[in-house]
Structure 1
């Protein structure tokens, strides 16, 4: 699980640190944000203490109405040893009771001038991106006609050479050799390149080349949603390969299943062109045009009619 600290939010959103500086390096384990209105009323039975706590106009207005004897008690219970931070929105004044409780428990109290709802949305988006499940895959990721194609296969099968040919044909390289993948949603995988090898391609016999330097900024991109996996393998004469395209194989990455095609490699086959066409055909299928299905339906009609001359 990726690690995010309260300090990261403090720096990213340029927040003001009011108190509880000792806890600035507390870990944040969830992207969920809490607005503890019901806790302000005294109900802490299901208090999500592990979440970032946002106090806006509603919460602070209610707090001001509480009796003096209740205020310190509420803030004491709000500040726990696992609370990553309490953020005051709209630039409101921070209650003294919160400052005192946060110093005792080392809970960072931060302040922002942004509206509560807007800040909550920004924090959630940032944390979901940072805390998303991640993995790394050996392969090449290329943006082909807007389709993120992950090319996989054994070492030496020609993945990088194919990517180079695709770049020459006007497509964009995202990552070579190692693709870092994060699951941003239930069915959304986004691939990026490790910073060390970003924009680089390794071609055997030639060495490492910088794609952006050679082909320009339009030949690369920093990240891309993965929609299709193409597995390259050396041609096996004993193996039966799909000739119609009716069967759809799937590959599971983290918790998401992605369409997978297996393309056999042998001398004389232009793999770059085949992958390019596969990406275009994938787009057509998503638009409802399936050439293989249309062919088999037409074939069935001809067979049923008994008119074999059309074949």
Structure 2
């Protein structure tokens, strides 16, 4: 099933449909956009027909200088059976030959008032967002002091209860139970809630609560960049847990690696406070302040000073 179709672009940018209405359900498979200057000059060897074709002042003024036969032939070649749309910018006049060819081949001809470069940038951003790789993860996503924290763990470990406590402490819920994640670029993952469970939180014994209704609009966010993963697991007495914070575990989601911390859960541990402090500490590390490294350096200095005194 196509993620985005030509009609989605028409609706998003309020484009004028001039021809080829039959093709508005064509799928758009790439966020790349083509400005077919070389093609209008007659070079079609590497014509990217699967892209949206953008015609601005430069392309159309060049087309006007062609003789009737060349113009008709080249504009017709722009209208392939896989071209999602041809968009005219600056509300320029569209060559009659292009309108006729587009109607025959069912290629939508669209028009916008915006300038070519500006519209190209907006369209690329929209398509990249829609066509980005996506996945879904069982967990809770919370915005803590501006840090997107993905809380994971087995069912029943206390993820939603921890999220509720974090919301009560003034932080913002993005998604509970299922987090939809899209990779916007090489190292950016953005999480959001499925529409069906947006703003909702499930607490065992209490049921489903609406966070926005209970705590107000300031307690929720529609989406957030994920920076940190906190994995909750039942305390295992046989397992060695990191006590200094020098070790950095990673978790890979799609093609992006995130820092992952494993938090053991047992009665008496305030998970909300621990996760809150972890988010603040993560921010400090990004600013160049690493408490674990500072402690290790101080410990090394004390040991070295002791060695010198013994000598």
Short-chain TM bin:
over 0.9
Is 1:289 the equivalent of 2:289?
Answer: yes
Alignment-derived partner of residue 191 in structure 1 = 191
Cα shift at 1:184 = 0.6
Contact 1:141–1:150 under 8 Å retained in 2? yes
The residue correspondences of 1:251-266 to structure 2 (distance < 5 A) are 251-266=251-266
How far did 1:172 drift? 0.4
Measured against aligned partners, the alpha-carbon deviations of 1:8-49 in whole angstroms (never above 9, x if no partner) come to 011111111111111110000001111001111001111111
> Is residue 176 from structure 1 mapped to residue 207 from structure 2 by the alignment?
no
In 2 relative to 1, CA 173–114 (structure 1 residues): closer, same or farther, beyond 3 Å?
A: same
Map of 2:142 onto structure 1: 142
Distance 2:290 2:2 in 1: 40
**In structure 2, distance between residues paired with 1:169 and 1:69:** 71
Look up the SS of the partner of 1:101 in the other structure.
helix
Structural mapping, 1:113-124, within 5 Å:
113-124=113-124
Deviation at 1:271, TM superposition (A): 0.5
Pairwise CA distance, 1:2: 5.7
Q: Which structure 2 residue ranges, 5 or more long, are not aligned?
A: none
Deviation digits for residues 70-109 of structure 1 (CA, Å, limit 9, x no counterpart): 0111011111011000001111111011011111211111
1:151: Cα distance to partner?
0.1
**In structure 1, C-alpha distance between the alignment counterparts of 2:308 and 2:204, rounded to whole Å:** 51
Contact 1:142 1:171 in 2 (8 A): yes
Distance 1:24 1:144 in 2: 42
What is the number of residues matched between the two proteins? Answer: 309
- Cα distance in 2 for partners of 1:39, 1:63 equals 10
Root-mean-square deviation (Å): 1.2
Q: Which residue of 2 aligns with 1:92?
A: 92
The normalised TM-score by structure 1 is 0.98
The answer to whether the 8 Å contact 1:10/1:16 transfers is yes
Offset from partner CA, 1:187-233 (integer Å, 9 cap, x none): 00000001111111100000011111111111111110000000000
Alignment correspondent of 1:207: 207
Partners of 1:98 and 1:208 in 2: how far apart?
56
CA-CA distance at 1:179 after TM superposition: 0.4
Within-5 A mapping of 1:16-55: 16-55=16-55
